[in-house]
Chains A and B, each alone.
Chain A
Amino acid sequence: MFPEAFHISIRGPINDFVQSLVVNYGFVFKAISQTLLQAILFVEWILRGLPWWAVFLVFLALAWAASKKISLVVTVAVMLFAVGALGLWDLTMQTLALMLIASLISVAIGVPMGIWLAKSELMRRITLPVLDVMQTMPSFVYLIPAIMLFGLGKVPAVLATIIYAVPPLIRLTDLGIRQVDGEVVEAATAFGGSPSQILFGVELPLATPTIMAGLNQTIMMALSMVVVASMIGARGLGEQVLNGIQTLDVGKGLEAGVGIVILAIVLDRITQGFGQMSRKERGND
């Protein structure tokens, strides 16, 4: 046995800290929560309000824009049709709404953070271990404070999803910018480019394929969170899986599982398509 004299508990202080956050700054979290909820509800309202064929067409158009391949468009069409045929359309739209919001916020956080990491060695040294922790910490652990601060429902689900899903985007944005050919950046500098001209005109465009790979990872990780998120009251496909587990309804769980897989494949192929296209545009070097 490890001697008890050396025991340190961080449980009490952390509980007290979260408690005091709730008591003293509850209104701040409530405001954030309300704003976020409105955004989620808005996206959900659009996706669920649109007729199914309109969403269908948007996806087909995206698939075409991403790949210029009929085969992908047909695949996406068949898959989405399967989702509808399985009676999962509405649940899928709910999940998609959460995904879109989580991914949008992840981009808003991840890309600027990645740029910062690429520019500052100090920032990189501080952030990388934090990202490791964010990715390895069991997601249930940060669900608890998320619930305490933001209540049950969609908002803590989105936040937990972001924490889990944003690290690959930060890492790959950082990597993408670092991988930009030094001589090209030097040339832009030598011709008098300002830091922002170089960032937006050279570094970000050249890092786009890598950033797109990061976005793809982020979306995939966000999808893998939907079941966990349903445990704190997020609706959608995850809830259906959870329901299946609780009632030992294997068929129901599998149906919803297939829905999640299809959503994953469709989003994966479309984002990968965009990534490959930006790679092709600049040739092989």
Chain B
Amino acid sequence: MTDIKIRNVSKIFGGNWKAALAMTQQGADKGEILAKTGCSVGLDNVSLDIPGGRVFVIMGLSGSGKSTLVRHINRLIEPTSGEILVDGSNVLDLKPKELRDFRNRRVSMVFQNFGLMPHRTVLQNVVYGQRVRGLAKDDAKPIGMKWIETVGLAGYENKFPHQLSGGMKQRVGLARALAADTDVILMDEAFSALDPLIRADMQDQLLQLEKNLHKTIVFITHDLDEALRIGAQIAILKDGKLVQVGTPSEILNSPANDYVARFVQRRAGAGEPHHA
């Protein structure tokens, strides 16, 4: 089981990042910094401990920096300052070759709009991670087939992505992440593009996987119901700042501020949290 520690990570987008970073340290807010330096603040001094083997949800509205934060874990985005420790070693120290290896073997990812390769079949998409690793086609095939069956897509392995529905495409995305056999899976709004029934289905499937495989899953969502349903712990982001971290019941029963409280109040008549 792999745990992830995010230490004082800030991310400033724009050329004049030094001035902007200094302003964040003095507590200036996002709008003010944008007006004065022309830089936009993606993340403002975020620290998080993500324990291994569970589903950790990062929640926030669009623009809150949640997608930016998750991309720091596999360094698709470089932080302006701070460090990211995966199992104690700093991801930022990795050289290009080591970074590719790290992405390939340690962390995989599921994307909001699936990110499937349209010119490859379902099977070829699913084994992409294994193939990048250098595994021969014939050796990769049984691995791919196993995960295609696990996500319930047996029989579709030779179809192309455009022949599948949205829910099926995301199953392919999930199977691809699982076939890479990494300890950590990052899921960036993975279920947001799906309709409610399929979404609930996929959430159940994810919880099953959590139970069976003990992977560290970092799940990004803008939906509190989804966060409460699948998260062992939930972190709430607003304007690039961490607002609250806690278990679903902590979030529900003692919201850290008005912002979180408003979220909780608007959630009327939803089901019980899974990790109560």
Q: Which residues of A contact B (CB under 8 A)?
A: 181, 183-184, 186-194, 197, 202, 205-206, 281-285
Contact = CB atoms under 8 A, between A and B. Distances in A.
Q: Is the interface of B mostly helix, strand, loop or mixed?
A: mixed
A121 to B, nearest CB: 14
B17 interface: no
B129 A187 contact: no
Nearest to B112: A183
Interface of B: 74, 76, 100-105, 107-109, 111-119, 128-129, 132-133, 160-163, 176, 180, 186
Given A191-B132, A192-B104, A183 B162 contact: no
Given A189-B103, A194-B100, A284 B162 contact: yes
B113 A183 contact: yes
A198 to B, nearest CB: 10
Contacts of B129: 191-192
A282 B111 contact: no
Contact of B103 (A190, A282, A283): A190
The CB with the most chain A CB atoms within 10 A, among B104, B108, B111, B117, is that of B117
Nearest to A285: B162
The dominant DSSP class at the A interface is helix
Contact of B109 (A187, A194, A206, A282): A187
A202 B125 CA distance: 11
A202 B108 contact: no
A17 to B, nearest CB: 40
B162 A283 contact: yes
A282 B132 contact: no
A282 B100 CA distance: 27
Contact of A283 (B100, B113, B160): B160
Interface core residue of A184, A186, A191 (most chain B CB under 10 Å): A191
Given A193-B132, A194-B100, A188 B117 contact: yes
Given A191-B108, A192-B133, A282 B128 contact: no
Nearest to A187: B115
B111 A183 contact: yes
Contacts of B101: 192
A267 B195 CA distance: 47
A184 B116 contact: yes
6 contacts: A187-B109, A190-B74, A190-B107, A191-B108, A192-B102, A206-B117
Q: Max chain A CB contacts within 10 Å: which of B101, B102, B162?
A: B162
Given A186-B76, A197-B132, A282-B162, A191 B176 contact: yes
Contacts of B162: 282-285
Contacts of B132: 191-194, 197
B103 A192 contact: yes
A205 B160 CA distance: 15
A189 B76 CA distance: 8
Nearest to A189: B76
B72 to A, nearest CB: 12
A194 B132 CA distance: 8
Contacts of B113: 183
Contacts of A188: 117, 128
B122 to A, nearest CB: 13
Contact of A186 (B104, B115, B118, B163): B115
A232 B7 CA distance: 70
Query: Which of B128, B133, B162, B186 has the most A CB atoms < 10 Å from its CB?
Result: B128
A216 B13 CA distance: 40
B113 to A, nearest CB: 5
Contacts of B108: 190-191
A283 B104 contact: no
Given A191-B103, A192-B101, 14 more contacts: A183-B113, A184-B117, A186-B76, A187-B116, A187-B117, A190-B115, A191-B128, A192-B104, A193-B132, A194-B100, A197-B132, A202-B117, A283-B118, A283-B160
Contacts of A181: 115, 118
